[in-house]
Amino acid sequence: MPLLCALMLKRKLPEKENFLVHGAKQLYEPALGWALGHRRFVLGASVISLALSLALLPRLGTEFLPELNEGAVWVNVNYPTSVSVTEAQELSRRVRQAIRKFPEVVSVTSKAGRPEDGTDPKLINMAEFLVDLKPENEWQRGVDKPGLLREMDAEVNKIPGITPSFSQPIRDNVLESISQIDGQIVIKVFGDDLEVLRDQSLAVLRQVETVPGVARAFVDRLGELPQIQVRVDRARAARYGLNVSDIQDVIETVLGGKQVTQMWEGEQHFGVAVRLDEPERTLVRMQSLLVATSAGAYVPLSEVASFRTVGGLMNIARENGKRVFAIGVFIRGRDMGGVVADMKARVAQHLKLPEGYSITWSGEFENQERAMARLAIIVPISILVIFLLLFDAFRSFRSSLLIVANIPFSVIGGIVALWITGIYLSVSAAIGFIALFGQSVLNGVVMVALFNELREAGMAPEKAVVSGAITRLRTVLMTALLASLGLLPMALSTGIGAETQKPLAVVVIGGLVSATLLVLFVLPVIYVMLYRREERTTV
């Protein structure tokens, strides 16, 4: 590296400006003169542009983070709640076959119920499928990933009695870790009475599932499971000298088994449990089982208890000491903020919860709100810190305020760039705006420092602005081009991981266009207006 620098220094480098810089100055000088001659028009047009861009901001749509393309698909499928293990295996096989039909798929791995280590406590009717895809540059049908997911969804839905949802492996784990519920948006309904709570949850579901942008909405683990209900007749049992615990022990042994002894095998020992064979565990056969009384007699269970088959909720969840039903929502083709706003409006308009019942909105949307709330605090603090540093450097409140005034104008290009590209406002885009603030302040410092230097040397504000702006034109253009060209690969990238980088790059590149124009034209206009008024006041 030192040798390369030495060779470059020995060469005869041109001392004059190249034709690009010379041409830029030839165009800039008359344009700047026109702007200084029409100061009110330039300033008014800038304010109007800022107002229009801010009016465009609510139309951008909001989300937490852009969805990252992980190169694989994670499919959650819910079978009927009463499905058996054998039926779940057969349905899983049919789902795998349906997904394997697509040439973009490499392999499909499935799991129904919970794993052997018990780390994922799911019922047998809840199946998960990991779909490994080929790299997108090897797809020969010309379909993109959203189109492929739509085709898979249509093919899997041909199997009756199932409800699939499509996500990605890491994204699915993140969503479940946020709210323990499968869904981008999770609506939780709290209450005491299970029947009322279920009815209210279904009422909320009916309101939100028809909102535009909702791809799938469901009440988590709502179904019922068949249960055998045994009611002990305490009066009859007392006449036979039986306790309730005696009857419960017999039923427990019959259905679930009970350990009666242990078996040793070397250094290992195992519990030995007894229970009836499966054909004997039917409801009719159970009623004829005999229970020994304290007098040594035997009484059939049907004499002291009543048996019947009922349906019971497959899941009773609690949060913060209250019963809760959760509604999972997946969205497609629309921003998360707009979907949640519409859902909240519909629920508030058409549904009134009974006293003691409440609704909370969580999931990824909760993280989005939390992040935006923090940014709403961080951004003003950052601008204040920038102003204090500028005031310490310039020792002038007016110059510092003039440079900071460029920050709001610099967002014009960033907002327009997001709107043109169809990218939603996210945390990544918000970070791009913060980086853009720093760039616009840097160019403002470069310009104002030279303006002040020339004015203090005796130049009039107009001449100081024209001379200083033309001198600093190359510096401003090089700074803007360096940042824009450096981020251009991020803005144009389509590889895995590009989704999270693209909003930041688009905001900075688009914002630098407006920020550069404003620094070259609006900043000199405001500078002249401020310091000409100061001179008139002094005279």
Whole-angstrom distance, CA of residue 120 vs CA of residue 176: 11
Whole-angstrom distance, CA of residue 476 vs CA of residue 514: 13
The one-letter amino acid at 11? R
- Give the closest residue to 76 by CA, choosing from 175, 144, 146: 175
pTM for this structure? 0.69
Whole-angstrom distance, CA of residue 364 vs CA of residue 381: 26
DSSP string, 28-74: HHHHHHHHHHTHHHHHHHHHHHHHHHHHHGGGS-B-SSPPP--SEEE
Whole-angstrom distance, CA of residue 240 vs CA of residue 317: 39
Q: Which domains does the chain have, with CATH numbers?
A: 22-59+396-538 (1.20.1640.10), 71-167 (3.30.70.1430), 225-313 (3.30.2090.10)
Taken in order 107, 111, 117, 120, the sign of the CA dihedral is: positive
> Count of CB atoms within 10 A of residue 64's CB?
23
> Count of CB atoms within 10 A of residue 391's CB?
16
DSSP string, 313-349: ES--EEETTEEEEEEEEEE-SS-HHHHHHHHHHHHHH
The one-letter amino acid at 36? L
Exposure string of 66-98, with b = 16+ CB inside 10 Å and e = fewer, is: beebbbebbbbbbbebebeeebbeebbeebbeb
Scan for tokens 């509604």, then name that residue. Answer: 327
CA–CA distances in Å: residue 331 to residues 158, 213, 488, 535: 21, 5, 30, 60
At 96 the pLDDT is 92
Whole-angstrom distance, CA of residue 505 vs CA of residue 487: 5
Whole-angstrom distance, CA of residue 524 vs CA of residue 529: 9
Mean pLDDT by runs of 10 across the 539 residues of the chain is 51 62 81 86 87 84 75 84 85 91 89 74 83 85 83 88 81 70 82 84 87 83 75 85 83 80 84 81 77 80 82 74 83 81 87 85 78 83 86 83 82 87 83 84 84 82 84 84 82 72 86 86 84 55
At 193 the pLDDT is 81
C-alpha angle 329-340-504 in degrees, rounded to nearest 5: 100
Scan for tokens 């991020």, then name that residue. Answer: 490
Q: Check if the beta carbon of residue 429 is closer than 8 Å to that of residue 467.
A: no
At 538 the pLDDT is 46
